[in-house]
Amino acid sequence: MVGAVTRNPATDGTPAPVAFDDAMRRYAPVLGLETHVELGTASKMFCSCATVFGAAPNTQVCPVCLALPGALPVVNGTAVESAVRLGLALNCSIAEWCRFARKNYFYPDMPKNYQISQYDEPLCSDGHLDVTVDTPDGPREFRVEIERVHMEEDTGKTAHVGGATGRIHGAEYSIVDYNRAGIPLLEIVTRPIEHTGDLAPLVARAYVSELRDLVRSLGISDVRMEEGSLRCDVNVSLMPVGATEWGTRSETKNVNSLRSVERAVRSEIERQAGVLDAGQRVVQETRHFQENTGGTVAGRSKEEAQDYRYFPDPDLVPVAPDPAWVEELRAGLPELPAALRARVKAEWSLTDEELRDLVNADAIALVSATVDAGAPPADARKWWLNELSRRATENEVELAALPITPAQVARVAALVAEGTLTNKLARQVVEGVLNGEGDPDQVVEARGLKVVSDDSALGAAVDRAIADNPDVAEKIRGGKVAAAGALVGAVMKATRGQADAGRARQMILERLGAA
């Protein structure tokens, strides 16, 4: 089974990776995903400090999150509520009683030298999330089992200054910002995901994407991967096809985009297949994903749970959510993404492909909200999938992060439908809204973008076009109605595209006796 082993010339004798398809013929991957979601609560997990992203360093800190002696933590009720709601949305059981635990390790961005987390008593456990993957043979569904959802607090952020790479090696000094220390996190841990075969990279990506949409629909986090409010650790192991005992896993930390999740799984499969082919053992370690190469490099060898000396945090009372309150939260859950997809597909009569385009563009909730704000589904889809998707790509932001609301898009669509704007003008209005010039109506007013359709202003432009183009006018008078296009063009030019072209044409023909 083990063929000739090629050494990787770029490194110290690490076995060369095996091409993905080849690896998949001989090995079966097992995945595990640990996702951290930073909650959007106004205050931190155990103190009342603010949580605004991007504030000046160390301005959102207090004795509790700096762990000054004698300071005592108090649980943020909204964070518990968010955790319960996510647990319910993931079909988990909610513990009637659970505690926080101290996870002890030293890291300079963690002032207490322990992190308050949950260990053997997570708030939510035993759930599942169904995800769909597109395959050449059509969509395939996978059920991802959720082991647990637990609450914890984020660490601060260290920056290494003076080096070329921004990493600690070669840096002159490091600075630390504790603003993020103590921000509430939920960690969502899957059970090992088996039987995906060569779809493993896509299943991992689909899971993170579905989880992100679910969290977003609950409104508990802005889940921006690029800002780190959703971060994913990707565990991968390989076993020979047909084996039942899982292989040793590696854990690639803090993968920061959906595309990177997919690439991290793929490259780990290729790397580990090389290691196994060479007769070596995969080391249990954390690895770091490299954006530029799409591969991973070794980090630290992985601690075992006992290294963390977990014990219940004596400073905090247990969390005991009242079952009646949990049921209230369950009843108050919004429509979740899977249900939303099924509903819009039926209501808007979408084909599988049209639905897939909406899902791939990450536009379904936005389009749905735009329809709720009064736009016809076709218009709402058109705006989000064309003009706005293009601008999001141009600015390298997610569609949902564009500074325009579904209600504003619906208003633009309405202005087009009522004839106040042409499509071309509407795009300028959208540009204005995105520039922060205000609501669509304010942009129309401020930029003077209304279609010129009132007869006196339009009439003046028409008269001028006729006077400026006597030979064209003559042809039209002589019955060559098709020549009117040239005069309509002149009117459009004179009104900077703001004329109602149909009305202009009609006036031209009337004035020249050709109507």
Q: Which residues bind ligand ADP (CB under 6 A)?
A: 30-34, 189-192, 235, 237, 246, 249, 251
Q: Which does 65 bind (CB under 5 to 8 A by kind): Mg ion, ligand ADP, Zn ion, none?
A: Zn ion
The CB-of-85 to ligand ADP minimum distance in angstroms stands at 22
The CB-of-89 to ligand ADP minimum distance in angstroms stands at 19
Token pair of 39 as six digits: 């909650």
Q: Which does 440 bind (CB under 5 to 8 A by kind): Zn ion, Mg ion, ligand ADP, none?
A: none
The CB-of-118 to ligand ADP minimum distance in angstroms stands at 12
> Under the criterion CB under 5 A, does residue 34 sit at the interface with Mg ion?
yes
Residue 65 vs 234, nearer CB to Zn ion: 65
Residue 34 vs 198, nearer CB to Mg ion: 34
Residue 153 vs 177, nearer CB to ligand ADP: 153
Q: What single letter denotes the amino acid at residue 105?
A: Y
Number of residues in contact with Zn ion under rule CB under 5 A: 5
Residue 34 vs 285, nearer CB to Mg ion: 34
> Under the criterion CB under 5 A, does residue 183 sit at the interface with Zn ion?
no
Residue 88 buriedness (CB in 10 A; 0-12 / 13-18 / 19+) = buried
Residue 142 vs 246, nearer CB to ligand ADP: 246
CA atoms within 13 A on the CB side of 152: 23
The CB-of-81 to ligand ADP minimum distance in angstroms stands at 24
Q: Which does 240 bind (CB under 5 to 8 A by kind): Mg ion, Zn ion, ligand ADP, none?
A: none
The CB-of-38 to Zn ion minimum distance in angstroms stands at 15
Conformational region of residue 497, where left means phi above 0, alpha means psi within -120 to 50, and beta covers everything else? left
The CB-of-121 to Mg ion minimum distance in angstroms stands at 17
List 18, 47, 264, 363, residue binding Zn ion (CB under 5 A): 47
> Under the criterion CB under 5 A, does residue 62 sit at the interface with Zn ion?
yes
3-state secondary structure of 360: helix
Q: What single letter denotes the amino acid at residue 215?
A: V
User: How far is residue 124 from each of residues 93, 217, 223, 274, 466, measured CA to CA in Å?
Assistant: 6, 19, 20, 38, 75
Place of tokens 């630290």: 300
Alpha carbon distance, N-terminus to C-terminus of the chain: 84
Residue 237 vs 368, nearer CB to Mg ion: 237
Residue 72 vs 333, nearer CB to Zn ion: 72
Q: Give a three-class secondary structure readout of 11-64.
A: CCCCECCCCHHHHHHHEEEEEEEEEEEECCCCECCCCCCECCCCCCCCCCCCCC
Conformational region of residue 91, where left means phi above 0, alpha means psi within -120 to 50, and beta covers everything else? left
User: How far is residue 156 from each of residues 159, 176, 237, measured CA to CA in Å?
Assistant: 10, 7, 31
User: How far is residue 204 from each of residues 82, 92, 213, 278, measured CA to CA in Å?
Assistant: 24, 20, 14, 27
Residue 28 vs 476, nearer CB to ligand ADP: 28
Contact (CB, 8 A) for 82 and 186: yes
Applying CB under 5 A, the span of 49-57, 191-199, 276-284, 464-472 interacting with Zn ion comes to 49-57
Q: What single letter denotes the amino acid at residue 22?
A: D
Number of residues in contact with Mg ion under rule CB under 5 A: 1
Residue 206 vs 499, nearer CB to ligand ADP: 206
Contact (CB, 8 A) for 376 and 394: no
> Under the criterion CB under 5 A, does residue 285 sit at the interface with Mg ion?
no
Residue 188 vs 458, nearer CB to Mg ion: 188
Residues numbered 145-184 forming contacts with Mg ion, rule: CB under 5 A = none
> Under the criterion CB under 5 A, does residue 79 sit at the interface with Zn ion?
no
Contact (CB, 8 A) for 466 and 460: no
> Under the criterion CB under 5 A, does residue 49 sit at the interface with Zn ion?
yes
Applying CB under 5 A, the span of 29-37, 213-221, 265-273, 390-398 interacting with Mg ion comes to 29-37
Cβ-closest position to Mg ion = 34
Token pair of 3 as six digits: 């063929």
* Number of C-beta neighbours around residue 44 at 10 A: 27
The CB-of-34 to Mg ion minimum distance in angstroms stands at 5
Applying CB under 5 A, the span of 40-48, 93-101, 280-288, 447-455 interacting with Zn ion comes to 40-48
Instruction: List 94's β-bridge partners, or say none.
Output: 124
Distance CA 44, CA 212 (A): 21
Question: What φ, ψ does residue 510 adopt, rounded to 5°?
Answer: -60, -50
The CB-of-138 to ligand ADP minimum distance in angstroms stands at 27
Residue 39 vs 208, nearer CB to Zn ion: 39
Quote the distance between the C-alpha of residue 88 and its chain's center: 21
Q: What single letter denotes the amino acid at residue 91?
A: N
The CB-of-116 to Mg ion minimum distance in angstroms stands at 16
The CB-of-188 to Mg ion minimum distance in angstroms stands at 11
Q: Which does 422 bind (CB under 5 to 8 A by kind): ligand ADP, Zn ion, Mg ion, none?
A: none
The CB-of-29 to ligand ADP minimum distance in angstroms stands at 8
The string of DSSP codes covering 87-108 is: HHHTT-EE-SSB--EEEE---T
The binding site for Zn ion (CB under 5 A) comprises 47, 49, 62, 64-65
- Give me the residues that bind Mg ion (CB under 5 A), please: 34
